[in-house]
């Protein structure tokens, strides 16, 4: 295949691959920010990478950074929203008084007020709206993941003509416009008068035939398709996994609402139990 002809094509797999790496890094950074409530961990790693020192040389600053790092570790490991050591003590003491754990509180998500600390007052209407929006987002991400999976399982390479923007699929013996049943058979490139009957415009058909239509380059064409297909599948699988992983976010919102309801029921049950087990008021009995 001539390099000039191939340069007129855009590899959809390479487009996916070029987007997958930065998207993976951005997703990881946002996940850390979401779990810890801060970019401290990300910036600390960047500082270590560029500066070469992992700790501060001033003892007072080092102790403060160590304290913040411990808080971020607690937030990342459990999912809490703690700001300082003193804040952590208040929340832990609340959990101990109410026979709950930090994990129980973290599972409630935004339904738990970390500053109070304690459960927020329930808002049935807004909770229902959040659940509805979260469910719609969950379904959309599942559909997106399924689309990327179908591309990964597709047995034809996806390419795009740079001049016209036409997207088409490619195999070792034919090219086919996307969403079309017509095909351009490479063996016909030198014999048919109007290859545009394949579904391509005359100019697009000429570019494709110039790139892939030469019989003496069949082996090179097969290698090109195989290489492009491998890149396409790898990138599509990565994006599929990323889309599927993102379904955790709306799923967690729905789960948080349910966990908060369960904790609220436990707290009310314990409160009623304590009230029933309290000894009667002696003054009231005497009266």
- How much is the CA Rg of the chain, to the nearest whole Å? 30
In angstroms, the CA 25 to CA 255 distance is: 27
pTM of the model: 0.58
Show contacts of 26-31: CB within 8 Å, 24+ apart: 27/242, 27/245, 27/246
Residue 92 sits at the vertex; the CA angle it makes with 89 and 93, to the nearest 5 degrees, is 85
Q: What is the pLDDT of residue 201?
A: 85
Q: Where are the domains of the chain?
A: 1-29+124-268, 38-121
Four-residue CA torsion sign, 139, 145, 147, 153: negative
Pairing of strands 167-170, 157-161: antiparallel
239 in helix, strand or coil?
Answer: helix
Task: Report which of 195, 209, 179, 188 is spatially closest to residue 8, judged by C-alpha positions.
Answer: 209
Q: What is the pLDDT of residue 229?
A: 92
For every one of its 287 residues, what pLDDT tens digit does the chain have, with 9 covering 90 and above? 555 555 555 566 666 667 777 888 888 888 888 888 888 888 888 887 787 766 777 788 878 888 888 999 899 999 889 999 999 999 999 999 999 999 999 999 888 999 999 998 765 545 667 778 889 999 999 999 999 999 999 999 999 998 889 999 999 889 999 888 888 888 878 765 455 567 888 888 888 888 888 877 788 888 999 999 999 999 999 999 999 999 988 998 888 888 988 999 999 998 888 777 766 655 545 44
Would you mind telling me the total number of residues written for the chain in this entry?
287
Quote the tokens at residue 62: 């080092």
* Residue 254 and residue 103 in contact, taking contact as beta carbons nearer than 8 Å: no
Q: What is the pLDDT of residue 242?
A: 93
Which residue is associated with the tokens 């008084």? 97
Within the chain, residue ranges assigned H as helices are: 3-6, 12-36, 40-51, 59-78, 85-97, 102-107, 124-153, 202-212, 218-246, 248-277, 282-286
In angstroms, the CA 142 to CA 119 distance is: 31
In angstroms, the CA 82 to CA 97 distance is: 18
In angstroms, the CA 174 to CA 186 distance is: 5
DSSP bridge partners of 215: none
Four-residue CA torsion sign, 37, 42, 43, 45: positive
DSSP bridge partners of 46: none
- Residue 85: other Cβ atoms inside 10 A: 12
């Amino acid at each position: 295949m001539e390099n000039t002809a191939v340069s007129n094509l855009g590899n959809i797999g390479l487009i996916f691959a070029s987007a997958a790496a930065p998207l993976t890094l951005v997703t990881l950074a946002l996940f850390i920010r979401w779990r810890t409530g801060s970019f401290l961990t990300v910036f600390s790693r960047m500082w270590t990478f560029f500066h070469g020192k992992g700790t501060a040389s001033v003892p007072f600053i080092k102790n403060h950074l160590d304290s913040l790092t411990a808080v971020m570790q607690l937030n990342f490991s459990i999912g809490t929203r703690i700001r300082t050591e003193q804040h952590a003590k208040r929340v832990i003491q609340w959990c101990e008084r109410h026979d709950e754990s930090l994990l129980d509180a973290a599972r409630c998500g935004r339904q738990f007020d970390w500053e109070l600390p304690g459960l927020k007052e329930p808002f049935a209407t807004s909770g229902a709206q959040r659940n509805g929006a979260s469910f719609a987002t969950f379904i959309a991400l599942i559909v997106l993941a399924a689309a990327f999976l179908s591309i990964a399982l597709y047995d034809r390479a996806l390419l795009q003509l740079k001049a016209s923007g036409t997207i088409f699929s490619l195999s070792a013996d034919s090219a086919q416009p996307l969403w079309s049943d017509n095909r351009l058979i490479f063996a016909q490139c030198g014999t048919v008068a109007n290859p545009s009957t394949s579904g391509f415009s005359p100019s697009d058909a000429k570019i494709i035939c110039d790139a892939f239509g030469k019989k003496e380059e069949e082996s090179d064409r097969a290698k090109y398709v195989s290489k492009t297909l491998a890149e396409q599948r790898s990138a599509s699988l990565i994006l599929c996994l990323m889309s599927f992983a993102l379904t955790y976010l709306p799923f967690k919102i729905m789960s948080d609402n349910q966990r908060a309801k369960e904790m609220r029921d436990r707290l009310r049950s314990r409160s009623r139990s304590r009230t029933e087990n309290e000894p009667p008021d002696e003054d009231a009995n005497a009266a």
